[in-house]
């Protein structure tokens, strides 16, 4: 066993993800290895259906892994109780809230559930975490609105605020920029970057905005059919990982301008 | 800033409303008893008309208390099911409790002829109906649960419950087909529901189950709130999904099962009360909905009962008809007025 370094937020070793079936396991990704460091903003990119959501769900223990280890705080996440894990990792999923009748304040308050007592009474500390989360995400003007009154961009910010209120070292987001316009995409991603910079949180999110990811993130995890690699944007460009990401007949990666473009 | 909206005023109005309709319920009936005399007989003061005191203490008071328990208990179990299944159409009976009860009672009333061994006075006794109903509910619920643990999806439990309801309904049809007119009538009368058949002894038994169900519901409030975001989010916030699901289903079974056993399958209330509470308080936070539903459920049931006993006449209507005649337009009106369903 390698000894744990205090500034590694998450260590993934020989991870196999997929679905357990009776006859044989349906493996979606194998031999996944990476480390996430404290205060990093990491984008998880890859083509549709490659298993980004499966990987993210596995990392926060919503889905069981098939093999390998996922360590947080020096221990495998399987050794934590659900409640303990909820104080280490928070998530923003693609699932919309089951009901949209909740107010923004109520949704953010739910983030404190791992800390509150049996009936959910808020302490002063809980309240200050909630207020912080609301201020950081700049949604104080929405607090009394119902979720059904919000635009997609606003709702996404509220869900991020809820994750912030949960006060975890790691935040995992599944496609936080889907359905958003250019401005809101950039806004959400720069919000995530400043969160990672200012609060030392480790933020991992999946996205199809590879260009924005290259510009804004400390590292990217590129998930391909052959292998999964974590590196800085420059590292990936050097290794030609982006070139291999999509079939080359339609789009190509322009490494000098660091973005994808359509072949003419 | 938030979550501190004052619901105090609405709660005060509802509480005084409850006291009011409770007293009115005691006053009305085939004999009109003046308010002052009702109060006196409740406090135990001697009143001129001994029979009034007897009526209030042994007939009307137990019935009013039953109405309170039935209305609030069914409302609560409806809320539990709607939140658990994230389905506004769910009610206390989606897990097969009432279909199980009707199966048990159908066997007792109409199946007895087939076996031919039971004496008719045993059949009409209240307790045998209660036992048959509970047994039926319990067995069908058990079957639903045994099948449900094999599925991971909560929605599948809903479908399984509905399938079992169809199954039991089919068995009841077969029994009805071979039943005599008299048996059939007895069974149909049971299906109307009734609040007036409970003596104090039965009420105290029902009360124990009711309190137990309320406590289980109370400890589930936090879990219910997180279910509003969806199961994956609940899990990510440290909730033990399996345990919470079991507690919620247990609470519903205890509340709806015991109420159905003693008062028959009271329709509509369990579905409608949670919607009324959500519209009235404009929230889906369960810490608010819990007391709100207790109050609204009790009030609506008392009003329905007052109407059903057709004041100043010797007739009374089936309570099940009144709950729907009275309740359905109320829910429709609220939905139209607010134009947005809160769920």
In this predicted structure, what is the pLDDT of residue A156?
Answer: 94
pTM above 0.80, yes or no: yes
Mean pLDDT of B115-135: 69
- For residues B273 and B292, give the distance between their C-alpha atoms in angstroms, rounded to a whole number: 9
Q: Do A62 and B228 touch (CB under 8 A)?
A: no
Q: Do A144 and B228 touch (CB under 8 A)?
A: no
CB of A81 within 8 Å of a chain B CB? The answer is yes
B7 DSSP 8-state letter:
-
Q: Do A99 and B284 touch (CB under 8 A)?
A: yes
Q: Ramachandran region of residue A219, left (φ > 0), alpha (ψ -120 to 50) or beta?
A: beta
User: Domain residues of chain B, as ranges?
Assistant: 2-338
Q: Ramachandran region of residue B86, left (φ > 0), alpha (ψ -120 to 50) or beta?
A: left
Which CA distances in Å does B18 have to B12, B23, B278, B307, B314? 10, 9, 18, 16, 26
Choose among B9, B66, B4: nearest CA to B287.
B4
CB of A132 within 8 Å of a chain B CB? The answer is no
- For residues B57 and B61, give the distance between their C-alpha atoms in angstroms, rounded to a whole number: 5
Q: How far is CA B145 from the centre of its chain?
A: 21
Q: Do B1 and A143 touch (CB under 8 A)?
A: yes
Q: Do B235 and A82 touch (CB under 8 A)?
A: yes
**Closest CB from B230, B238, B240 relative to A95:** B230
In this predicted structure, what is the pLDDT of residue B1?
Answer: 38
Alpha-carbon distance B82 to nearest alpha carbon in chain A (angstroms): 11
Identify the CATH number of the domain defined by range B2-338: 1.10.3470.10
Report residue B154 as tokens.
Answer: 């909560």
For residues A177 and A207, the answer to whether their CB atoms sit within 8 Å is yes
Q: Do B228 and A97 touch (CB under 8 A)?
A: yes
Mean pLDDT of A206-222: 94
pLDDT mean across residues, chain A: 92
Alpha-carbon distance A10 to nearest alpha carbon in chain B (angstroms): 17
At B113, the pLDDT band (50, 70, 90 cuts) reads: low
Report residue A251 as tokens.
Answer: 């789009």
Mean pLDDT of B47-75: 91
- Reduce the DSSP state of residue A100 to 3 states and report it: coil
- Percent over 90 (pLDDT), chain B: 50
Q: Tell me the pLDDT tens digit for each residue of B136-166.
A: 998 988 888 888 778 877 788 888 888 999 9
**Closest CB from B225, B278, B283 relative to A120:** B225
Q: Do A82 and B278 touch (CB under 8 A)?
A: no
A168 DSSP 8-state letter:
-
For residues A126 and A115, the answer to whether their CB atoms sit within 8 Å is yes
Report residue A247 as tokens.
Answer: 């079939």
Report residue B204 as tokens.
Answer: 């105290």
Mean pLDDT of B35-52: 82
- Looking at beta carbons, which residues of chain A come within 8 Å of B226? 110, 113
Q: Which of A99, A107, A168 to mutate to test the interface with B (most CBs of B within 10 A)?
A: A99
Q: Tell me the pLDDT tens digit for each residue of A14-61.
A: 999 999 887 788 899 999 999 999 999 999 999 999 999 999 999 999
**Closest CB from A93, A103, A144 relative to B233:** A93
Mean pLDDT of B179-207: 91
Answer whether residue B114 shows pLDDT above 80. Answer: no
Q: Tell me the pLDDT tens digit for each residue of A96-141.
A: 888 888 899 999 999 999 999 998 899 999 999 999 999 999 999 9
Q: How far is CA A148 from the centre of its chain?
A: 24
At B242, the pLDDT band (50, 70, 90 cuts) reads: confident
Which CA distances in Å does A69 have to A6, A159, B159, B172, B200? 18, 28, 37, 55, 61
ipTM passes above 0.90: yes
Q: Do A105 and B3 touch (CB under 8 A)?
A: yes
- Looking at beta carbons, which residues of chain B come within 8 Å of A98? 86, 227-230
In this predicted structure, what is the pLDDT of residue B2?
Answer: 43
Choose among B185, B160, B168, B166: nearest CA to B107.
B168
For residues A90 and A108, the answer to whether their CB atoms sit within 8 Å is no
In this predicted structure, what is the pLDDT of residue B125?
Answer: 67
Q: Do B236 and A119 touch (CB under 8 A)?
A: no
Residue bearing tokens 């991992």: A204
In DSSP terms, A76 is beta-bridged to A71
A33 DSSP 8-state letter:
E
Give the residue from chain B lying closest to A60, CA to CA.
B236
Helix locations, chain B, DSSP H: 8-27, 35-43, 50-55, 61-84, 97-109, 112-115, 120-124, 126-148, 154-178, 181-192, 200-219, 221-227, 231-236, 241-263, 269-281, 286-308, 319-338
Report residue A39 as tokens.
Answer: 């205060």
- For residues A262 and B141, give the distance between their C-alpha atoms in angstroms, rounded to a whole number: 59
In this predicted structure, what is the pLDDT of residue B335?
Answer: 77
Mean pLDDT of B183-195: 90
Q: How far apart are the first and last CA of chain A?
A: 52
Mean pLDDT of B216-228: 95
Alpha-carbon distance B46 to nearest alpha carbon in chain A (angstroms): 45
Q: Do B238 and A82 touch (CB under 8 A)?
A: yes
A227 DSSP 8-state letter:
-
Q: Do A106 and B232 touch (CB under 8 A)?
A: no
In this predicted structure, what is the pLDDT of residue B123?
Answer: 52
- Reduce the DSSP state of residue A8 to 3 states and report it: strand
Report residue B132 as tokens.
Answer: 């048959």
Alpha-carbon distance B200 to nearest alpha carbon in chain A (angstroms): 33
Q: Do B219 and A118 touch (CB under 8 A)?
A: yes
- Looking at beta carbons, which residues of chain B come within 8 Å of A116? 222
Q: Which of B150, B233, B241 to mutate to test the interface with A (most CBs of A within 10 A)?
A: B233
Mean pLDDT of B275-294: 92
**What would the 3-class secondary structure string for B285-317 be?**
CHHHHHHHHHHHHHHHHHHHHHHHCCCCCCCCC
CB of A101 within 8 Å of a chain B CB? The answer is yes
- Looking at beta carbons, which residues of chain A come within 8 Å of B221? 119-120
**A145 CB-side CA count, 13 A:** 12
- For residues B102 and B172, give the distance between their C-alpha atoms in angstroms, rounded to a whole number: 8
Residue bearing tokens 């909740």: A102
Q: Are strands A251-254 and A89-92 parallel, antiparallel or unpaired?
A: unpaired
CB of A62 within 8 Å of a chain B CB? The answer is yes
At B50, the pLDDT band (50, 70, 90 cuts) reads: confident
- For residues A192 and A163, give the distance between their C-alpha atoms in angstroms, rounded to a whole number: 12
User: Edge-to-edge strand order for the sheet containing A67-72?
Assistant: A26-37, A8-19, A67-72, A75-76
Q: Kindly give, in sequence order, each residue whose CB lies less than 8 Å from that of residue A212, ignoring residues fewer than 6 positions away.
A: A177, A185, A186, A189
- For residues B283 and A64, give the distance between their C-alpha atoms in angstroms, rounded to a whole number: 35
Q: Which of A56, A57, A82, A112 to mutate to test the interface with B (most CBs of B within 10 A)?
A: A82
Report residue B205 as tokens.
Answer: 């038994």
Answer whether residue B29 shows pLDDT above 50. Answer: yes
Chains A, B: CB contacts within 8 A come to 103
């Amino acid at each position: 066993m390698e000894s744990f370094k205090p500034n590694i937020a998450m260590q993934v070793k020989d991870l196999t993800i997929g679905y357990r079936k009776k006859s044989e396991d349906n493996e979606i990704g194998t031999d996944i290895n990476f480390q996430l460091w404290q205060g990093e903003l990491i984008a998880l990119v890859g083509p549709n259906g490659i298993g980004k959501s499966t990987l993210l769900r596995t990392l926060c223990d919503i889905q069981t892994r098939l093999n390998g280890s996922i360590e947080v705080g020096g221990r495998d996440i399987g050794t934590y109780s659900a409640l303990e894990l909820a104080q280490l990792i928070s998530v923003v999923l693609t699932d919309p809230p089951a009901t949209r009748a909740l107010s923004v304040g109520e949704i953010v308050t739910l983030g404190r559930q791992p800390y509150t007592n049996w009936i959910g009474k808020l302490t002063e500390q809980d309240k200050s975490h909630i207020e912080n989360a609301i201020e950081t995400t700049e949604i104080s003007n929405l607090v009394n609105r119902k979720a059904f009154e919000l635009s997609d961009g606003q709702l996404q910010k509220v869900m991020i605020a809820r994750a912030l209120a949960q006060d975890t070292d790691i935040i995992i987001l599944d496609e936080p920029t889907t359905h958003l316009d250019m401005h809101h995409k950039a806004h959400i991603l720069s919000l995530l970057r400043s969160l990672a910079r200012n609060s030392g949180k480790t933020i991992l999110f999946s996205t199809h905005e590879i260009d924005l990811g290259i510009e804004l993130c400390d590292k990217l995890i590129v998930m391909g059919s052959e292998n999964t690699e974590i590196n800085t944007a420059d590292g990936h460009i050097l290794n030609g990982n982006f070139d291999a990401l999509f079939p080359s007949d339609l789009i190509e990666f322009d490494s000098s301008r660091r973005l994808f473009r359509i072949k003419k | 800033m938030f979550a501190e909206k004052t619901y105090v005023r609405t709660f005060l109005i509802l509480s005084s409303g409850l006291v009011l309709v409770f007293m009115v319920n005691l006053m009305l009936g085939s004999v009109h008893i003046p308010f002052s005399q009702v109060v006196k007989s409740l406090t135990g003061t001697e009143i001129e008309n001994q029979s009034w005191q007897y009526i209030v203490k042994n007939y009307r008071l137990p019935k009013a208390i039953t109405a309170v328990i039935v209305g609030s208990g069914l409302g609560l179990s409806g809320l539990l099911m709607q939140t658990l299944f994230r389905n506004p159409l769910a009610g206390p009976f989606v897990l097969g409790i009432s279909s199980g009860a009707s199966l048990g009672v159908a066997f007792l009333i109409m199946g007895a002829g087939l076996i031919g061994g039971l004496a008719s006075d045993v059949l009409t006794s209240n307790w045998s109906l209660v036992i048959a109903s509970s047994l039926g509910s319990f067995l069908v619920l058990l079957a639903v649960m045994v099948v449900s643990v094999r599925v991971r999806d909560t929605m599948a439990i809903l479908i399984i419950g509905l399938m079992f309801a169809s199954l039991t309904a089919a068995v009841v049809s077969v029994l009805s087909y071979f039943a005599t007119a008299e048996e059939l009538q007895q069974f149909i009368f049971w299906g109307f529901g009734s609040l007036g058949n409970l003596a104090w002894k039965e009420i105290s038994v029902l009360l124990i189950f009711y309190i137990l169900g309320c406590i289980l519901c109370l400890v589930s409030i936090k879990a219910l709130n997180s279910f509003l975001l969806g199961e994956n989010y609940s899990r990510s916030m440290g909730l033990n999904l399996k345990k919470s699901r079991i507690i919620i289903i247990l609470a519903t079974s205890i509340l709806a099962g015991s109420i159905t056993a003693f008062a028959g399958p009271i329709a509509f209330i369990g579905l409608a009360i949670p919607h009324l509470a959500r519209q009235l308080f404009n929230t889906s936070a369960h810490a608010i909905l819990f007391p709100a539903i207790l109050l609204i459920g009790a009030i609506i049931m008392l009003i329905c009962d007052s109407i059903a006993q057709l004041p100043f006449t010797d007739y009374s209507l089936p309570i099940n008809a009144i709950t729907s005649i009275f309740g359905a337009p109320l829910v429709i009106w609220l939905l139209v007025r607010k134009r947005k369903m809160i769920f």
